[in-house]
Structure 1
Amino acid sequence: MTYTTASMNALRTSGDELADATVATLFERGQVGTFNTLMRYVSTAGAPLPDGLPDVAREYLHATGAPPAWVDWGEMEKARLFFIDNNVHISTALSFAAMPACYLVPHVARLLATTHALDYPSKRMAETGQFTVHLMQPGAFEAGSAFIPAAQKVRLLHASIRHHLARDDRWDTDSLGVPICQEDLIGGQMFFSLLVLDSLHRLNIHMSAEGAQAYLYAWRVVGAMLGVDQSQVPTDMASARQFLDLYMLRHMGPSEDGARLTRQLTSLYEEIVPGTFFDPLVSALIRHLIGDTCADWLDVARTPWDTAVKAVPHLLGALESIEDRSPFAAWALDRLGHLTTVFELSSLTRGRVMHYAIPEHLKKDYGISATVPRTRRWTPPPPAAVPN
């Protein structure tokens, strides 16, 4: 698939018809509070829906309660094994590259600032981490899993933000398109997939071409569960690179909201890192992964660690080489990575299960016009040509 400025503009005109209609009906009937209360008890796929759930919500949950029929389960298993092999590195890339990248899109940063929860970045990071961990569990799409209900709720959360902004006439649709439009949904999917892979490459993590492709595929499945139009989604590395590059060129830039959200994020990470000596490493790692221009746009501080952090890829590369040669080392490092990811997530959640809910109002001050074999070592696709 080839993307152009015109095709990308077309993606800004649509949201998610099913979720939007469901949320509109819940608000129209005054059933949002009831829905949120009852949905706290819906946390696993296949569980009986609670009595008293609004009919429109029940219909939505039935319609979205299964993965797409086209899923290749062999590819999904490759993605799960890739995650097991690289979980701590993926968590690092999500935290220090993908999340700041979201803040580099001014209209996305401003939109994220509309929800009260974004005053507490640990909640969003915990939700993102928990969502990814749920996705990569062996039975993520089977009865008893937590992933499908989480995806259903995130989809409604997006629809509720669109509903509020349209109802209150607080979004310039003519110039910005629909809030959380299809272009932004696919852009987010690229941030959490291809940009994560780019970051792993930058960290000198050894990845197989098969594993990287499977990870990209897994996020296509996620996108489908989140209401992304699959006819417009990149299906291979080359088209993913073209979309991501064009999306970044079209939208990325400095903004006060992006800088503020980044300050909240770095402060959160510094709280998790023991002591204060290593605090500057947080900013240095973000700057290393997203580059100086983007880091300056987000007001990421320059520190003496900016030079030292460049040694991290060499260290990780050495560990990866050991892992490649020794099955025991591979097992030990994978286990250490798992424990590190669990520690990070438990620190963010404070041991709690994160619940998604439809916000009943937005901020008042919002105003905008088996390990996959390491064969065929993966390298990022080259930059895409800029279309006319």
Structure 2
Amino acid sequence: MPHTDASMNALRQSGDELADATVAALFERGEMGSFNTLMRFFSTAGAPVPEGLPDVAREYLRATSSPPAWVDWEEMERARLFFIDNNVHISTALSFASMPACYLVPHVAKLLSTTHGLDYPSTRMAATGQFTVYLMRPDAFEAGSRFIPAAQKVRLLHASIRHHLARENRWDTETAGVPICQEDMIGGQMFFSLLVLDSLHRLGIHMSEEGAEAYYYAWRVVGAMLGVDQDAVPGSLDDARRFLDRYMIRHMGPSPEGVRLTRQLIDLYEDVVPGTLLDPVVPALVRYLVGDTCADWLDVPSAPAWDTLVKAMPHLLGVLETIEDRSPLGAWALDRLGHLTTLFELSSLTRGRVMHYAVPEHLRKEYGVPDAPPRTRRWTPPAATLAP
């Protein structure tokens, strides 16, 4: 069913009933501290539930310990192969398009600023990257995987943020809706799925229809495990385009928080790039993927020479794809290079550590509001729509 402004307004008043009730019960009983201590040791699926875990938390972990019953595992395997074939490109799109897109929604940028600690952007980026790598492993949904516990913890983290901001009256729900509401969670799902596919297309990456649809499907499964109401999520890429266009038209714009978050993102990746000679590539790539208007809203620096150079990337990637298509050895070498590049980027952000998700017991200063499927046909993005 197509979304309207009325239906999307209703989504702004909904959170995640299961996770919200779990967090509320833990805080009411004063058990959040012991729960966090125990959860740090619960990082692999199928591991024994830690002793001493509060009953309400134990029940939550049981209820969220497996993916939805409707998952098509053949489609998920196609998504995994798509990720392997395009891992470095997907990482690029997530880092230089999906994250800045979040900052283009002022109330989302404000919430990110108030809940993630502006002084530690690498933690936010590392957690996102690690989460995605966990998702696309062959054992992501099996005993021993790290993806399911990570999803369970992220879901509780979101619920704790809603709990704190509502309890302490630090969020204008009348104007901005419930913090991390269903509309914003669906919007985020679109940023990490459809917007990634858009960015790969803009980079000139050869994608099949089957691969693109499988990647989008995988993020529907992820969304369900993060508490997103999939009955309200577009089921096809065409419907996803209509939702994302309407969502961005409703909300996107400039904000001080968006500018600051983007500046931190650029600084972070300039630090990851060896030396300083290639630093201008970072803002040029962000500008290329999000467009000049959005880049101006985010105050992304413009350097005409580098902006022009980045626009040549599709031609270079096209040459590499030709090598990959015509040479099995070349395909293996490029896939291996992409895998190593992704691991290098992630290790640079995590400093070799596993990122933990802890539910805040209170809003400390940094949390508060201070004042390969077969390449048959190229995937073509659904046409842009103008929401009335």
Query: 1:360 corresponds to which residue?
Result: 361
* CA shift in 2, pair 1:37/1:117, >3 Å: farther
Q: Distance in 1 between matches of 2:266 and 2:52?
A: 42
TM-fit CA distance, 1:147:
0.4
Q: CA deviation at 1:4?
A: 1.2
Question: Unaligned regions of 5+ residues in structure 1, if any?
Answer: none
1:262 and 1:362 map into 2 onto residues whose CA distance is 23
- Residues matched between the structures, number: 385
Which moves more between the two structures, 291-300 or 113-122?
113-122
Question: 1:146: Cα distance to partner?
Answer: 0.4
Number of the residue aligned with 2:320:
319
1:69-112, Cα deviation, whole Å (9 max, x unpaired) = 00000000000000000000000000000000001100000001
TM-score by length of 1: 0.97
* Shift of residue 385, structure 1, vs aligned partner: 3.8
Q: Counterpart of 1:179?
A: 179
Report the CA distance between 1:307 and its aligned residue.
Answer: 1.3
Q: Which residue of the partner structure matches residue 376 of structure 1?
A: 377
Pairs within 5 Å for 1:1-388 = 1-303=1-303, 304-362=305-363, 366=369, 371-387=372-388
Counterparts of 1:322 and 1:381, CA distance in 2: 28
TM, length-normalised to structure 2 = 0.97
Residue identity in the other structure for 1:376: R
What is the CA distance between 1:320 and its match in structure 2? 1.2
Q: Matched residue of 2:14: which SS?
A: coil
Matched to 1:194, the amino acid is L
Amino acid at match of 1:257: E
Taking the aligned partners of 2:164 and 2:11, their CA distance within structure 1 comes to 20
Q: Extract structure 1 runs of 4+ deviating beyond 4 A.
A: none
C-alpha distance in 1 between matches for 2:356 and 2:238: 36
CA distance in 1, matches of 2:118, 2:377: 41
Q: Conserved in 2, the CA contact under 8 Å of 1:103 and 1:257?
A: yes
The residue identity in structure 2 corresponding to 1:320 is E
8 Å CA contact 1:118, 1:124 repeated in 2 = no
RMSD of aligned residue pairs (Cα, Å)? 1.1
Measured after TM superposition, the shift of residue 363 of structure 1 is 5.3
Question: Aligned partners of 2:292 and 2:385: how far apart in 1?
Answer: 21
Superimposed CA distance per residue, residues 7-34 of structure 1 (whole angstroms, 9 cap, x where no aligned partner): 1111101000000011111111111111
**Paired residues of 1:170 and 1:367 also in contact (CA < 8 A):** no
Relative to structure 1, the CA distance from residue 367 to residue 106 in structure 2 (aligned partners, 3 Å threshold; closer, same or farther) is farther
Deviation at 1:325, TM superposition (A): 2.0
- 1:57 positional shift: 0.6
Q: Indicate conservation of the 8 Å contact 1:114/1:366, yes or no.
A: yes
Q: State how far apart, in whole Å, the 2-side matches of 1:263 and 1:336 are.
A: 29
Q: Measure, in 2, the Cα distance between the counterparts of 1:47 and 1:112.
A: 32
Q: Which amino acid aligns with 1:322?
A: I
Once the two structures are aligned, what percentage of the paired residues are identical? 78
* Paired residue secondary structure (1:264): helix
Which ranges of structure 2 fall in alignment gaps of 5 or more residues? none
